[in-house]
Amino acid sequence: GPICKTGNPVTDDIKLIDELVGNLPNDYKIQIKYISKVPNVTDTCWLHLTVPEMSFSLDVLLEKFAKNSSNYLIIENLHRILDGIHNCLSDDKKDYHEESEFSCEKSNLEPKQYFSYFNEIITAFQLAEDTNPCDAE
Amino acid sequence: GPICKTGNPVTDDIKLIDELVGNLPNDYKIQIKYISKVPNVTDTCWLHLTVPEMSFSLDVLLEKFAKNSSNYLIIENLHRILDGIHNCLSDDKKDYHEESEFSCEKSNLEPKQYFSYFNEIITAFQLAEDTNPCDAE
Ligand SMILES: [Ca+2]
């Protein structure tokens, strides 16, 4: 994404998401604080909220697998991508949770929904412009 | 097991159980009608009840994974072992659920417990004698 100065953190490991989803029970529920996109707010602003929540959720998920398992290794790599994205986001100490435009709800998502949300975050990052994060349009 | 006339259905695939368990979320709940062992009843009798229930449960579990996933392939092989054991059990059309010695309860087991129960069935089969299934000792 153009907002990143230190190279692209999004590696080819995102191609392993389908393999991971197919290797998880399709009715398993993964907990995450889900934040809907809203109009009139930039993707960058949305990323400031969603990336830390997704990173936390992936970390909890990771610990449910054996360290040498294929699912563990893929989740670990996806977590690394998110950390890379997080490092690219400007560190302006603003409390983005105060932004009233967003509603954040604790959700339990099945693997397919959960990683579709993950992909939405990756896409938003790749399309995001380096603007002041939460400027309204 | 000595109760089987057509060769040993228990293949090396049981060595993949640890890999499978490590590759499942450790808090995932798998439904099965769990049947406790009771004293004074032969293992063969217990197998007549547990093998069909475990086979049914594994079949439901199997359908939760993508067909080309590693978890699917391992579960499919474990299911095949159980089918082989089932074919070795005498087909005497008795309704073993009528045996009042056993209590059967719907349970939701985590992967580690669930496959420990699976292993208990395999071990019982390997040790079982070819006796009249439900003779009390
Ligand atoms: Ca899994």
Q: In CATH, what number is assigned to the domain containing residue B31?
A: 1.20.1250.10
pLDDT of residue A131: 58
Range of the domain at A114: 15-26+43-127
Query: What is the band of A1 on the pLDDT scale with cuts at 50, 70, 90?
Result: low
- So what's the pLDDT on residue A137? 44
> Is residue B71 assigned to a domain?
yes
Kindly write down the DSSP assignment for every residue of B6-53, as one continuous string.
S-----GGGGGHHHHHHTS-TT--EEEEEE---TTB-HHHHHHHHHHH
CB A107 within 8 A of CB A30: no
B5 within a domain of the structure (yes/no): no
Does residue B132 belong to any structural domain of this protein? no
> What ipTM was predicted for this assembly?
0.87
Residue A32 within a domain: no
φ, ψ for residue B107, nearest 5 deg: -130, 155
Please tell me which of the candidates A19, A27, A66 has its beta carbon nearest to residue B22: A66
Q: pLDDT at position A28, please?
A: 98
Pairing of β A104-109 and β A30-35: antiparallel
Would you call A23 and B69 a contact, using CB atoms and an 8 Å cutoff?
yes
Taking a C-beta distance cutoff of 8 angstroms, is the pair B38, B101 a contact? Answer: yes
pLDDT digits (tens, 9 = 90+) for B32-53: 999 988 877 788 888 988 999 9
Q: What's the number of domains chain B is made of? A: 1
Phi-psi region of B61 (alpha: psi -120 to 50; beta: other; left: phi over 0): alpha
Does residue A55 form part of some domain?
yes
Q: Quick check: B25 and A25 CB within 8 A?
A: yes
Does residue A39 have a pLDDT over 60? yes
In this predicted structure, what is the pLDDT of residue A95?
61
Nearest to A23 among B21, B27, B66 (CB): B66
pLDDT at A92 over 70: no
